[in-house]
Amino acid sequence: MATPPRLYERLLSLVADGRDREWIVGDLREEYARRAASDGERAATRWYRGQVLKAALPSLRRRLDREPSQDVRGGSGGARFDALRLDLRLVRRQLARTPLFTAGAVLTLGLGLGLATAIFSVVNGVLLRPLPYDDPARLVWVWTDLTSIGVPRANITGQQLPWLQERSAAFTDFALMRVRPAPLVGAAGEEPEQVSLTRTTANLFEMLGVAPALGRAFAEGEDGPAGTDVVVLSWGYWQRRFGGDPAAIGSVLRINDAPHTVIGVMPEDFRFVTHTSLGPVVASDLWATLRTDWENENTGSFSYSLLGRVRPDRRVEAGMAELHALGAEMQEEFGYSIEAGLRPVALVPDLVGSVRTALLVLQAAVLVLLVAVLAGQAALLLARADRRRRELTIVRALGAGTGDVVRLVLLESTLLSVAGGLLGLGTAALTLPRFLALVPDSMPRRGDIALDATVLLAAIAASLVIGLIAGLLPALRSARSGIGSALRTLSVPAGDGASRRTRRALVVAQIALSFVLVAGTALLLRSMLNLLALDPGFATRDVVTLELQFPTQRYDELSRSVAVIDALRERLLARPGVAAVGATSALPLSAAADQNSAFFVGSVQPQEAERPLVDSYSITPGYLEAMGIRLMAGRDFTSLDTEDSAATLIDASLAASHWPGEDAVGRTLLLGGDTLTVVGVFVQPRLYRVDEDGRGQVIIPFAAGGDSRLDVVVRTNGTAPELAASARAILRDIDPLLPLSNVSTIETHLARALSERRLALVLVGAFGAVALLLAVLGTYTLLASTVSQRSRELGVRLAIGARPGSIVSLVLRGALGVVLTGTAAGLVLALGATRALQGMLYGVTPADPLTLVSTALALGALGLIAAALPARRASRIDPARTLREE
């Protein structure tokens, strides 16, 4: 008697509704035999195939609806569904049926994409978004090149402007400017406020190609000695002082005791920063016209920044080359005593130059993270595809084409990743403000960082790409496997060897990638700890600093400023809790010192030709004590040290390198045009970076060469606001119009100096954490599905007497293989990748063995912990049940 082909019969028993399976199969076998006898086996088989297909449809639909189909009317198997709607519904229901898988996939995607989006918005804002100027690529900063005395970027003298305007053919124009803090008073009797003021030639805004949002920009002739005192406000300052009131136009502000009329307000998105060769970038609150007679100033006064715009019909490189050539002529023209040239630097790359490397490192970390997310997603989907193999095979056997299956799997993957992407946007919106809080104020273009359209598009594109690529592997696998072979193995619902190998490889990749990020985090963390453990040469707590600005018109003699400081110091010392008070022109880590060439008389170093550059600044008596700077030899300044005493302090490194083995106290050095006698030697407080300065320091008494701006430093066990209140009260008695600003603590200064490192640490750390989570999840999923695939085998082993312990170790051995391979691959990757961090490391090498080994151990331990749960489950398989299922 003829029987139906086994393949179809087997298929039928799979697709037929469980309750009716036995009689349906039986009935069809009977009728097959009857038809084979009357119509031949061929026709019978054709008929049988049709019956199998029809049997599957109601049962499939019933699975979808989780209720018996109502739709057998007409007997044709029901109405046709619109393909995509059916697909979407199927995918949605499948996802809803496995909430743990769905939540896990969406959450990890959301976390990873969210972090990546937040970081990308930083990179986008700082590096990618064009500056809001007209053709910013044509803007060029012009510096004086004084490399001969160790200053590659010195400022420009006023005389250079008319000379350059006359000689240059490649530039449309040049603007001269200078940024300074200035005391500002709005109305009589008001407490003065310190503002950042840029004084510029009248053509600046026209050159940038930006018009004010309100009022007008400077007009020709408003600059120079014959000009007028007019001022343009930044949007932020307009909001702050005038609350955004348009009536601000026409009002008068007293800047440096001179009345200035407000003529305009710049647009909200206008940003313009000037930066000095050594100091941080400075944004301005206000812009006023430059009123000095720059054309006739001293040729040695390098005190301006100069910005030029290359003509539209010339190439930027041609403009730069012209400046280099003009620089060579300049030496002769101005008769400089030292070798000087011109150094043009394009504005855009210069602006972000300081953070470019750090941002590119972060961007690379983002890519590593995204690849880890992608690998994790692919591994999850592959595991799922293996579990659903039976179902997909049936769908295919029933005549769904390869394309349908691929579409189904890709649809699911894409649906997941789009959901993850949306969650990621939410995460980014939540985390970005927290990142921004860590971003140092000095970060160029900090204000341009936002989740803008570019970022949104990139995030959506990234999630789609991840969805498609992650889904491609399982989709192709399900499509490629032959139906026949798949059906033969259907009784063992499992991934075959190839699929398991792919998934193992993906998990290995995840572990390796997270290794790189974790190792990077560990290296940055150790650098941070090393830096915090360093002795920066000054007290790191109990110090409050206050900035004081003397208006130059009233304080035209230094003795007046000295008298104010002395009185303030005396009365502050009388306050409870105040241990020491002093003042300096250059706080630690402020980069505010001047650079001068010094000549050490009787030095063992060859210095005639080189004239080593030193950082020089001034302090008042009591400053060393207040700041906790240690004196190694000699004495501190006293109130008797004025210009006449010609006393100076030098740091121990200068003393040791110039007068080794000798007492530096009493020796002579030349600084600028002055001959000074060393009265004391101190341990250098860091002026630039916590770790290293690179230049020696020479200090002169404030009374001998002070500036109009200084920082008062108080050693106290009180808080900064308390102290500021005391100081304001005292100053009201001495001079009520003196502005006190920037009340801060030494901790804040330190934190600011380390802020870029802290930012990198937090960001890379966050990436590391997410990547680690993905790796653990990946390891867990891999082993859990391996255990469920092998449960029959493991159950048999248990049934014939294997001890649960041996089953646990069997599973753990499998895990160990994956974890060890991943860690080894990660180690190799990390050895190459961490080199990118070189510039951000301190006291630890990129290939630090201790860090790498502990990272490996930590990852290994986590991997085994992830494997513990599946291993336990394996040991608890019920052998009796396994045997029954056989």
Partner 1 sequence: MPDDVLTETEQLVMLALVRLVPEAYGVPVRAEIEERAGREVSLAAVYAALDRLERRGMVTSWLSDPLPERGGRARKHFRVTPEGAHALHEARETMARMWSGLEPHPDLRSR
- Those residues whose C-beta lies under 8 Å from the C-beta of residue 106, and which sit 6 or more positions away, are 416, 419, 420, 423
Stretch that binds partner 1, among 23-31, 242-250, 647-655, 669-677 (CB under 8 A): 23-31
Decide whether 48 or 287 has the Cβ nearer to partner 1.
48
- C-alpha 605/C-alpha 290 separation (Å) is 43
DSSP secondary structure letters along 460-473: HHHHHHHHHHHHHH
Decide whether 399 or 426 has the Cβ nearer to partner 1.
399
Count of beta carbons in the 10 Å neighbourhood of residue 570: 11
In the complex, minimum distance from the CB of residue 27 to partner 1, in angstroms, rounded to a whole number? 4
Q: Tokens standing for 575? A: 């306050």
Decide whether 75 or 312 has the Cβ nearer to partner 1.
75
Q: Tokens standing for 368? A: 């590593």
The residue type found at 209 is G
In the complex, minimum distance from the CB of residue 397 to partner 1, in angstroms, rounded to a whole number? 16
In the complex, minimum distance from the CB of residue 8 to partner 1, in angstroms, rounded to a whole number? 13
Residues 279-318 that bind partner 1 (CB under 8 A): none
Among 5, 7, 17, 163, binds partner 1 (CB under 8 A): 17
| DSSP-assigned letter for residue 40 | -
In the complex, minimum distance from the CB of residue 19 to partner 1, in angstroms, rounded to a whole number? 7
Stretch that binds partner 1, among 11-19, 546-554, 724-732, 809-817 (CB under 8 A): 11-19
Distances (CA, A) of 63 to 391, 618, 772: 11, 84, 37
Residue 2 touching partner 1 (CB under 8 A):
no
Long-range contacts of 152-155 (CB under 8 A, 24+ apart): 152/277, 152/343, 153/277, 153/343, 153/345, 154/277, 154/302, 155/276, 155/277, 155/302, 155/303, 155/304, 155/305
Decide whether 33 or 802 has the Cβ nearer to partner 1.
33
Q: What is the CA radius of gyration of the chain?
A: 38
**Angle at which helices 402-438 and 347-387 pack, to 10 degrees?**
140
Decide whether 68 or 225 has the Cβ nearer to partner 1.
68
In the complex, minimum distance from the CB of residue 18 to partner 1, in angstroms, rounded to a whole number? 11
Among 8, 10, 49, 69, binds partner 1 (CB under 8 A): 69
User: How many residues form the binding site for partner 1 (CB under 8 A)?
Assistant: 35
| DSSP-assigned letter for residue 128 | I
- C-alpha 389/C-alpha 379 separation (Å) is 15
The residue type found at 351 is L
In the complex, minimum distance from the CB of residue 63 to partner 1, in angstroms, rounded to a whole number? 13
| DSSP-assigned letter for residue 138 | G
Q: Is the Cβ–Cβ distance between 743 and 546 less than 8 Å?
A: yes
Stretch that binds partner 1, among 18-26, 346-354, 544-552, 765-773 (CB under 8 A): 18-26
Residue 25 touching partner 1 (CB under 8 A):
yes
- Those residues whose C-beta lies under 8 Å from the C-beta of residue 357, and which sit 6 or more positions away, are 839
Among 38, 42, 66, 75, binds partner 1 (CB under 8 A): 75
Our CA dihedral for 714, 716, 721, 723, rounded to 10 degrees, sits at: -60
Decide whether 51 or 697 has the Cβ nearer to partner 1.
51
Residues 116-155 that bind partner 1 (CB under 8 A): none
Q: Tokens standing for 414? A: 């894409």
Decide whether 398 or 819 has the Cβ nearer to partner 1.
398
Residue 77 touching partner 1 (CB under 8 A):
yes
For the purposes of burial, counting CB atoms within 10 Å of the CB of 853, is it exposed (0-12), middle (13-18) or buried (19 or more)?
Answer: exposed
**Angle at which helices 791-799 and 755-789 pack, to 10 degrees?**
60
Helix residue ranges, H only, 790-875: 791-799, 804-833, 849-875
In the complex, minimum distance from the CB of residue 20 to partner 1, in angstroms, rounded to a whole number? 4
Among 37, 43, 68, 529, binds partner 1 (CB under 8 A): 68
Q: Tokens standing for 91? A: 């995918």
Residues 448-487 that bind partner 1 (CB under 8 A): none
Site map (CB under 8 A) of partner 1, residues 706-745, x = contact: ----------------------------------------
In the complex, minimum distance from the CB of residue 394 to partner 1, in angstroms, rounded to a whole number? 14
Stretch that binds partner 1, among 13-21, 428-436, 512-520, 724-732 (CB under 8 A): 13-21
Decide whether 30 or 220 has the Cβ nearer to partner 1.
30
* β pairing state of 668-671 and 594-600: antiparallel
Q: Is the Cβ–Cβ distance between 593 and 616 less than 8 Å?
A: yes
Q: Residue 444, SS3? A: coil
| DSSP-assigned letter for residue 692 | -
Residue 74 touching partner 1 (CB under 8 A):
yes
How many contiguous H segments (helices) and E segments (strands) does the chain have? 26, 24
Decide whether 33 or 211 has the Cβ nearer to partner 1.
33
Count of beta carbons in the 10 Å neighbourhood of residue 769: 16
Decide whether 24 or 776 has the Cβ nearer to partner 1.
24
Decide whether 17 or 229 has the Cβ nearer to partner 1.
17
Q: Is the Cβ–Cβ distance between 130 and 136 less than 8 Å?
A: yes
Decide whether 73 or 480 has the Cβ nearer to partner 1.
73
Site map (CB under 8 A) of partner 1, residues 27-66, x = contact: xxxxx-xx---------------xx--xxxxxx-------
Among 39, 43, 65, 70, binds partner 1 (CB under 8 A): 70
Among 11, 16, 366, 784, binds partner 1 (CB under 8 A): 16
Q: Residue 429, SS3? A: helix
Decide whether 80 or 480 has the Cβ nearer to partner 1.
80
In the complex, minimum distance from the CB of residue 37 to partner 1, in angstroms, rounded to a whole number? 12
Among 11, 14, 24, 395, binds partner 1 (CB under 8 A): 24
- Those residues whose C-beta lies under 8 Å from the C-beta of residue 161, and which sit 6 or more positions away, are 174, 176, 201, 294, 295, 304, 306
Decide whether 55 or 230 has the Cβ nearer to partner 1.
55
Among 37, 43, 72, 579, binds partner 1 (CB under 8 A): 72
In the complex, minimum distance from the CB of residue 404 to partner 1, in angstroms, rounded to a whole number? 21
Q: Is the Cβ–Cβ distance between 261 and 252 less than 8 Å?
A: yes
In the complex, minimum distance from the CB of residue 373 to partner 1, in angstroms, rounded to a whole number? 43
In the complex, minimum distance from the CB of residue 33 to partner 1, in angstroms, rounded to a whole number? 7
In the complex, minimum distance from the CB of residue 124 to partner 1, in angstroms, rounded to a whole number? 57
**Angle at which helices 497-533 and 347-387 pack, to 10 degrees?**
140
Decide whether 81 or 717 has the Cβ nearer to partner 1.
81
- C-alpha 650/C-alpha 659 separation (Å) is 12
- C-alpha 583/C-alpha 621 separation (Å) is 8
Decide whether 79 or 437 has the Cβ nearer to partner 1.
79
In the complex, minimum distance from the CB of residue 78 to partner 1, in angstroms, rounded to a whole number? 9
Residue 73 touching partner 1 (CB under 8 A):
yes
Please report which helix (H) or strand (E) contains residue 37, including its range. Answer: helix 21-39
Stretch that binds partner 1, among 74-82, 383-391, 569-577, 691-699 (CB under 8 A): 74-82
* β pairing state of 281-283 and 139-146: unpaired
- Those residues whose C-beta lies under 8 Å from the C-beta of residue 748, and which sit 6 or more positions away, are none
In the complex, minimum distance from the CB of residue 75 to partner 1, in angstroms, rounded to a whole number? 4
Decide whether 12 or 436 has the Cβ nearer to partner 1.
12
- Those residues whose C-beta lies under 8 Å from the C-beta of residue 439, and which sit 6 or more positions away, are 122, 446, 449, 755, 759
Which residues would be at the binding site for partner 1 (CB under 8 A)?
Answer: 1, 3, 16-17, 19-20, 22-31, 33-34, 50-51, 54-59, 68-70, 72-77
